[in-house]
Structures are given as structure tokens and as C-alpha cells.
Structure 1
Amino acid sequence: MIAETVCSAVSVAGLGIAAVTAYRKRFLAAARIAAYSLVPLGLVMTGVVGWLADTAFSPTAWAGFVVLGGAWALFMITRAVERREGGTRKERRAAKAAGRREAAAPAASAPSLGQGSGPATRPAAAPRANGSGDDFSDIEAILKKHGI
């Protein structure tokens, strides 16, 4: 009963503010304020406010929320453990199969990385004189190691 009264009072106050805003010739803002003001009144008329008030003061409802929270926490914990272990059984099988396919791929593509007359075999650029060559020496070593 109190919740319905408060929601109705909020709606009436909001409609009053909308009327003052419309009087100041700000019709778009007044329409928006009126729309927001009618939401609590609509919730009272549909019975949602009464249902929420009954739920807020019901120990059974709060116990239900606790059970739902526990279920959600259990679900999240199992997902985290599953990700840490490497996924589900299907995902592990797929990863093993992909590992077997990947193991065969480097041997098959090794000739394409060999001696060739393409842009991949051009020499690396000379380092600059101002000392920036030291910054990229590690990167150049990695690239040379991979044949790039």
C-alpha cells in the first residue's frame, strides 16, 4: 500500500515538472519527463509494485535468491576450472588433432621458405647511425631465425 502511494506521488510530481517545462516552451524535454513520470504509475496499475513489495518482505523469496546466487556461483566456478584444465573433452580431442595436423605442416611448407627469388629473400635494412640498430637487433635475429 505504501509503495503504491509513493509511486503515484512520484508520477504526479513528475507530471507537474513536465507541465512547468512545457510552460517554458521546452516541449521535447517536457514530453520526455512525462514519459518517465508515467512509468511508476504504469507499474502500480499492472501490479508489479505490489508483487515486488511482497517479494521484498518474504523470507522464502530471499531464500530463493540465495539458492539462485549459489547456483550461479557454482556454474561460474565450474566454467573457470574447465578453462584452466584446457576445456571439455571434445575441445581436448580437437586440440590433439590440430596438434597432429600442425606437426605435419612445417615439414610440408619448409621448401617454400628456402632459396627463392622473391621479396622474402631480400637483405635486411642497415641499422641507423644514431644507435637505433641496437633496439632492433633482437627482432632482426628472430626474423632471420625464421627465414624472414
Structure 2
Amino acid sequence: MLAETICSAVSAAGLGIAAITAYRRRFLAAARIAAYSLVPVGLVMTGAVDWAVSTAFSPTAWVGFGLLGGAWLLFITTRAVERRRAGGSRKERKAAAAAARGDTVEPAASRPSLGGSAPAAEAPKAAEASKAARPKASAADDDFSDIEAILKKHGI
């Protein structure tokens, strides 16, 4: 009985606000406010409020919600344990997948391009190794050289 009264009061207040909004010639906003304010009365008339009130104050319903939460927690925990047993860490799985696809990175590619930390003797060797790994210049490289020339011309 109290829930129905509260819902009716909320709806009446919402319709009042919608009327004031319409008076200010904001008809679209007024229609939207009226729609929201009619929802509580609609819920009362369908019986949804009675069901929600009886569920909220029912100890059996709360025990049921607790059991559902416990089941969800068990499910998530078992999934996490299963993932850890299956393949180690996420980084290891990604590295294994990359190795299987052939997406490996050259060792010299992870070094800084400005030199500072690599010894002077290793830098030419790494450059020769990366040049040997690359195929000869193709038509695509010619296209990129044109683009590089345009960028250099503009100082980029």
C-alpha cells in the first residue's frame, strides 16, 4: 500500500514538472518527462511493484540471491584456475601464439635507434643482419621513396 502511494506521488510530481516544461514551450522535453513520470503508475497497475516488494522483504529471495552469487563466484574461480593450469601466464601464451604464426621480431629491432646502449661492434652486425633478412627493393619501396621526398621537401 505504501509503495503504491509513493509511486503515485512520484508520477504526479513528474506530470507537474512536465506541465511546467510545456508551459515554457519545450514540448519535446515535456513529453519525455511525462513518459518517465507515467512509468511508476504503470508498474503499480501491472502488479510489478507488489512482486518487487514481496521479493525485497523475503528472506528466501535473499538466500536465493546469495546462492546465485556463490555459484557465480565458483564459476569464475574455476575458470581462472583452469586458465592458469592450461598455459601459464598470458605473456607466455601470446609469445607461443606469435611463434606459431611466425610473428617473431628481430633481436636488433628492440634496441634503441639512437645507439647509446649498444656496443659499437654489435651495431654494424645487427644492421647487416637486418639488411640480409630484407628482400631487395621493389616497386613499393619506390612509392615510399616518393613519399619520403615529399615529406623532406616540407621539412617533416
TM class, shorter-chain normalised?
0.5 to 0.7
- Paired with 1:32 and 1:136, the residues of 2 have a C-alpha distance of 65
Structure 2, unmatched stretches of 5+, are 88-92, 103-112, 135-156
Equivalent position of 2:16 in the other structure? 16
- Paired with 2:48 and 2:56, the residues of 1 have a C-alpha distance of 12
> 110, 115, 118: which one pairs with 1:134?
115
SS in 2 for 1:134: coil
Matched, 1:53 2:56: no
Q: For each residue in 1:21-76, what CA deviation from the matched residue of structure 2 results, as whole angstroms up to 9, or x when unmatched?
A: 10111100100100110111111111111101001111000000000000110111
- How much is the aligned-residue C-alpha RMSD, in angstroms? 3.4
Q: Offset of 1:84 from its aligned partner?
A: 1.4
- Paired with 1:76 and 1:70, the residues of 2 have a C-alpha distance of 10
**Code of the aligned partner of 1:62:** W
Q: How does 1:91-110 map to 2 (within 5 A)?
A: 102=100
Matched, 1:147 2:128: no
Equivalent position of 1:65 in the other structure? 65
Equivalent position of 2:90 in the other structure? none
Stretches of 4+ aligned residues off by more than 4 angstroms: 135-140
Q: 1:21 to 1:136 in 2, by over 3 A?
A: farther
Q: Offset of 1:78 from its aligned partner?
A: 1.0
Identity of aligned residues (%): 65
- TM-score normalised according to structure 1 size: 0.63
- TM-score normalised according to structure 2 size: 0.60
SS in 2 for 1:86: helix
Structure with more contact order per residue of length (Cα contacts < 8 Å, sep ≥ 6): 1
Structure 1, unmatched stretches of 5+, are 88-94, 107-131
Equivalent residues, number: 110
- Paired with 1:141 and 1:51, the residues of 2 have a C-alpha distance of 73
Q: For each residue in 1:59-108, what CA deviation from the matched residue of structure 2 results, as whole angstroms up to 9, or x when unmatched?
A: 00000000000011011111111121227xxxxxxx9xx99xx5xx98xx
Q: 1:66 to 1:136 in 2, by over 3 A?
A: same
